[in-house]
Amino acid sequence: LPARRHSARHCLRRRRLAATGRHSQKRLAQHSTRDKTTNSGEMSGSKQADLAGPGISTYEAVDHGLPTDYSSLLSPKETQRAIMMAKQYIEEGLCRELNLFRVECPMILTKDSGMNDYLDRDGSRTPVDFPAGLGISPRLEVQVVQAATKWKRWALKQFGCDVGEGLYTDMRAIRKDYFLDHDHSSYVDQWDWEKVVTPDQRNLEYLKELVKRIWKVIKGCDTLLRKEFPALNTDKYPPIPDELKFVHAEEILAMYLDLPRKQRETALVKEFSAVFIVGIGAVLKDGYPHEMRAADYDDWITPTVTNDGEQFYGLNGDILVWNPVTQRRHELSSMGLRVTKETLVKQLEISQQTHFLQMPYHKMIMNDQIPLSIGGGIGQSRLYGRRFTLCLTVYLRHSRLSPQVLPAFCFCFSELGRCVRVITGYLLRKAALGECSVGVWPEELHKVCEKHNIHLLR
């Protein structure tokens, strides 16, 4: 089985290399030879492993990675009050800066709609599904939302949004296929947003302008919280930076050629504190994408700029920050301009998923029935707590789960570095997502966190 997976990924890389037209047959041959001669423990093996789906760690590793001198700056009660203040400020700020209005978001979608988000392309993160509709035959096949990425674009049409106008939603989702640790839970809370654009706005300059506006809101929220909660003003943790550093994934690769993706990101944010990585999904010069991205929403295949004669690709990216509490990098947001019908076909061909074109959502794109758009998500609990869950997977998100439904679906969920509650953790200087968001955690994790003076909400 491992050999099959290696072969499949190798074939996928070769197809993508050829499809982008950036590498000659000589480079493809060199890449093939390198894969054959490199041991699994060496660099190509590390880079390949970095592209895999959900990671599985151990609680010994979690114990080793947690801070040893941590003490929450706010009490549990103060934390909840700060979260309420932060949510109100950020939602109003996003509406003001991006011209958005709030809409309700679904908790479940029909399986055959094609609107649910599979998060990656290797099929490792599957949604919770169940039959719905007592007394009807056949019953509806529905799935719990993993992300509202595709639904939002359709919603722009449903709510009659004009060019320059957009929407956001306070999304709640379930992602069951993760290892549960201090950075991840099965329960996801996220702001999801989407905005109508014109063909002329599908460029890097427009993407960067919106990223700067979003960071302005996050920075403003940090200033407000420090004013209202003086305990956050400590020399132990510096304030968040005023501006982001924009860097393309190819440039990062050139800076840290021998490092796999996560280590490249860590080295970068340790130097610049807060960055926006542009161009995530297309194959880079070393034959690997910076990270695997789904083929049917963000546009990662469009040529953008050239650097020293080398073509760069991608109209999407992630906001990453250095968390001084956990001494780790954290992803706060993921966002991008969405695929056109032309780039949708190209990316589905590269990912070998052209059968998606038969789904209703994808047909709407192909038939120009939904508008061109840009969108993203901001994980809430991470942003509040300085990375226990903020994913702007860019990527704003859904309706709340009821107390009766939530326990049934909160399975172990976690992959170090990618979840949905970063905002609270980042701004409130928290060490764990579970300090901001109630979830279901194994007792082993409770014991590990309590050793480090971290108390997870139950």
Among candidate residues 48, 143, 185, 334, the one labeled active-site is: 334
Write out pLDDT tens, residues 118-130.
766 566 778 899 9
- 175 given a catalytic annotation: yes
- 331 given a catalytic annotation: yes
Of 56 and 231, the one with more pLDDT: 231
What value does the mean pLDDT take over residues 91-96?
97
In this prediction, residue 400 has a pLDDT band, given cuts at 50, 70 and 90, of very low
Using DSSP's 3-state secondary structure scheme, residue 348 falls into helix
Task: Give the Cα separation of 430 and 425 in Å (integer).
Answer: 5
Write out pLDDT tens, residues 405-429.
323 323 222 222 233 344 557 888 8
Write out pLDDT tens, residues 36-73.
333 434 555 567 666 655 566 788 888 888 888 899 99
Percent of the chain past pLDDT 70, that is, above it, reads: 77
Question: Residues in the chain, how many?
Answer: 458
- 124 given a catalytic annotation: no
Kind of pairing between the strands at 245-248 and 129-132: unpaired
Q: What are phi and psi of 131, to 5 degrees?
A: -80, 140
What value does the mean pLDDT take over residues 183-212?
92
Give the range among 79-88, 154-163, 243-252, 323-332 with minimum mean pLDDT: 323-332
Delimit the domains of the chain by residue range.
59-383+417-452
- 170 given a catalytic annotation: no
Give the global pTM: 0.79
The reported pLDDT for the residue numbered 178 is 75
Q: What are phi and psi of 411, to 5 degrees?
A: -90, 175
The reported pLDDT for the residue numbered 309 is 85
Integer-rounded Cα radius of gyration of the chain: 21
Structural contact between residues 274 and 13, judged by C-beta atoms closer than 8 angstroms: no
In the 3-class helix/strand/coil scheme, how is 259-281 assigned residue by residue? CCHHHHHHHHHHHHCEEEEECCC
Among candidate residues 170, 177, 194, 318, the one labeled active-site is: 318
Amino acid at 85: M
In this prediction, residue 242 has a pLDDT band, given cuts at 50, 70 and 90, of very high
Estimate the crossing angle of helix 43-50 against helix 261-272, to 10 degrees. 80
Average per-residue pLDDT in the chain? 80
CATH node for 59-383+417-452: 3.30.930.10
In this prediction, residue 384 has a pLDDT band, given cuts at 50, 70 and 90, of low
DSSP structure string for 200-257: GG-SHHHHHHHHHHHHHHHHHHHHHHHHH-GGG--TTSPPPPSSPEEEEHHHHHHHTT
- 71 given a catalytic annotation: no
- 353 given a catalytic annotation: no
Angle ∠(139,144,145) on CA atoms, nearest 5: 130
Among candidate residues 35, 117, 181, 250, the one labeled active-site is: 117
Among candidate residues 190, 201, 333, 380, the one labeled active-site is: 190
Among candidate residues 183, 194, 291, 331, the one labeled active-site is: 331
What value does the mean pLDDT take over residues 106-125?
80
Of 284 and 24, the one with more pLDDT: 284
Of 349 and 17, the one with more pLDDT: 349
